[in-house]
Amino acid sequence: MSTIELKNLTKTYGKFMAVDDLSLLIPEGCVFGLLGPNGAGKSTTFKCMLGLANSTSGTVLYDGKPLEPSTFERIAYVPEKSVLYDWMSVHDHVEMQRHAFSHFNVARAHELLAQFSIDLKKKARNLSKGMKTATMVALAIAREADMLILDEPTSGLDPINQRHVLNLIINESARGATVIFSSHQIGQVERAAERIAVVEHGRLALEGDVDDLKSGRKIVEGIFPNESFALDGIATDARIARIDRSGRILRLLTNADADGVAHLLEAKGASGIRIVDLNLEDIFLYAVAPAESTADVVEGVPQ
C-alpha cells in the first residue's frame, strides 16, 4: 500500500501554465478529493502523475520513488474521457485488461459490470457516456490495485450509479488502497474524501482535512452601530482569513476559533453576532472566488 507525493509539479503548454508548482501528499489509505473549476489543471495533473504528459518540472513519487514501469501494475486509472475502443465489446475489454496486467480479477469485473447493468456483448460505441464511465470504473476496480487515480469517475452516471461508484471508492479505501479522485459534484467529494485540495489556474488554492476545514472555517458576522467602525485588531488577527464589510455589516471568514472571533466583535461594539457553518461548497467558493464577489456568496449561506 502506498503514498503518492507531488513535489512542485509544473506543466506548461507554451506560455500557458496548466499546472503551476503543485505539491500534494496523499497518505496511504486516504481518499483524496481534487476540486477545481473547469480548466483548473486537474486532468493535466493526473496525466503528469502517470507520465501520460511530460511535466515541465517537479516530481511525482510513489512510496518515495519515481514512476517506473512496474508502478503501473499498482495503479488503476480512469481518465476523464473514454479510452475504450469503439469497435471492441465490453467483454473484449475485460479480456484485454486480463492480459495486460499481472493481476486482474475477472470474476470481480463481471460482478461489477452486472451491478452497473452493462451488457458484456455491447460494443463500446453503443454505450452511453455514463455506461462508458461505469465500464472504465469497473475495469479499474477489478485491478485490485494499491492506488487509484480517478478523473471524474461519476461523470454521466445517474444518481444511483453515482452512489454506487462512491461506495466502490469507499470500499477500496477500506481495504487500504490510496485513492485520488476529481469531481465537480462537491457533495460527493464531501462524503467520500478525507482530505481535499482545491486547485485554480493550476495552483494550489486550499488543502486540508475535510473535517478540519469545516470545523475551523466559519463566517462570523456582526452589525456595528454606524458605518465608520475601525478594523484595528481585526485586520491583523491570525484567526481571520478574509474580511468583507458592507455598510454597517462586517463578515469575517475564520480559520479557527470562531467563538473567540465572535467575542472580539462583541468587544468592538458589534451586535447581532452570528456564526455561520460553511459546507465544502462554500469553502470551495471562498477558495476560488475573487474578493469582491464574496458578499454574494455569503448571502447564499442558509440562515
Partner 1 sequence: MPAVLTVDPRSGVPIYLQVIEQIKRSVAVGVLSSGEQLPTVKQLALDLTINPNTVAKAYRELERDGVIETSPGRGSFVKANGVTETTKAAATDVARDAIEAAVREAKSIGLDADEIRNLANAAIDRWFRE
Site residues for partner 1 per CB under 8 A:
29-31, 163, 166-167, 170-171, 173-174, 187, 190-194, 210-211, 214-215, 218, 271-282
Distance, CA of 231 to chain centre: 35
Residue 301, φ and ψ in degrees, nearest 5: -70, 130
Smallest distance, Å, CB 158 to partner 1?
15
Closer residue to partner 1 (CB): 212 or 227: 212
Distance CA 251, CA 62 (A): 42
Residue with the three cell numbers 453515482: 162
Distance CA 78, CA 102 (A): 18
Smallest distance, Å, CB 217 to partner 1?
9
> How do strand 147-151 and strand 178-182 relate by DSSP bridges?
parallel
Distance CA 92, CA 98 (A): 10
User: How many DSSP H helices and E strands does the chain contain?
Assistant: 10, 14
Closer residue to partner 1 (CB): 118 or 192: 192
Smallest distance, Å, CB 64 to partner 1?
22
Closer residue to partner 1 (CB): 166 or 199: 166
β-sheet bridge partners, residue 252: 220, 243
Distance, CA of 151 to chain centre: 10
Contact 26, 169 (CB under 8 A): no
Smallest distance, Å, CB 1 to partner 1?
14
Smallest distance, Å, CB 170 to partner 1?
5
Smallest distance, Å, CB 240 to partner 1?
18
Closer residue to partner 1 (CB): 59 or 115: 115
Closer residue to partner 1 (CB): 31 or 49: 31
Smallest distance, Å, CB 253 to partner 1?
13
Residue 221, φ and ψ in degrees, nearest 5: -120, 140
Closer residue to partner 1 (CB): 19 or 186: 186
Distance CA 83, CA 101 (A): 17
Using only C-alpha atoms, what is the Rg of the chain? Answer: 23
* Exposure of 145 in the CB half-sphere (CA atoms within 13 A): 28
Closer residue to partner 1 (CB): 54 or 226: 226
